Amino acid sequence: MNPRDLRCEAVVFDLGKVLIGWDPYLPFCDDMSRVEWKEAAYRADFSALNIMADKGVPLDGVISQAYERGIRYGEFIEHYYAHFDRSLTGPVPGTAEVVDDLEATGVRLLGLTNWSAETIHHARRQAPCIRKLEGLVVSGQEGVAKPDPVIFRRLIQRYGIDPATSVFIDVSVHNVETANELGFTAIQFVGAENLREVLGHRGILSA
């Protein structure tokens, strides 16, 4: 099939690092260097704790888990969530314009994100283009996170979309692989300019 033969009825966006920038160092930038933050995050097992929040564990529970590793680790994670809004850097350059142009074509716009239910409101505030999405499935509200196929199927069923006529955009190669396996046309996001080129090549956006 020629890529331009794709009939696209829905485009599904990841949020973090696609529609909105995220840098977990920033809540700490007044107190430590990035190198110091990386060491502290590694010792606190930040990545694992962040995934817990993404899967729906209440933030109090995530923080308590960090305190079990030691007071300084608990304080580190508690500080992160207390200043979470500082970790968001606003719209990823160029993607708000891609959303606007897709909206103008009449295609449905949806979101599927790994994000804590308790902090998702910050995303909508700092990247207004997210409000243009018809619907948003948030892992922290669902209790399951990408790349688990379960959360993709919830998106499909809840919004009545057909993966065969839907595009999925995400930064994670693992999430893209799952989307492909489920029948989506999946695109790994590496930047707005590249995304626009890929969508143009597939006849979804004008060049």
In the chain, where are the structural domains located? 3-19+92-201, 26-87
pLDDT at position 85: 97
Report whether pLDDT(6) > 90: no
Reported CATH class of domain 3-19+92-201: alpha beta
Q: What is the pLDDT of residues 26-60, one digit of tens each?
A: 999 999 999 999 999 999 999 999 999 999 999 99
Report whether pLDDT(4) > 90: no
pLDDT at position 28: 98
pLDDT at position 142: 98
CB of 161 within 8 A of CB of 150? no
CB of 106 within 8 A of CB of 139? no
CB of 94 within 8 A of CB of 199? no
Confidence of residue 2 (pLDDT cuts 50, 70, 90): very low
Average pLDDT over residues 112-141: 97
Overall pTM > 0.85: yes
Average pLDDT over residues 93-113: 97
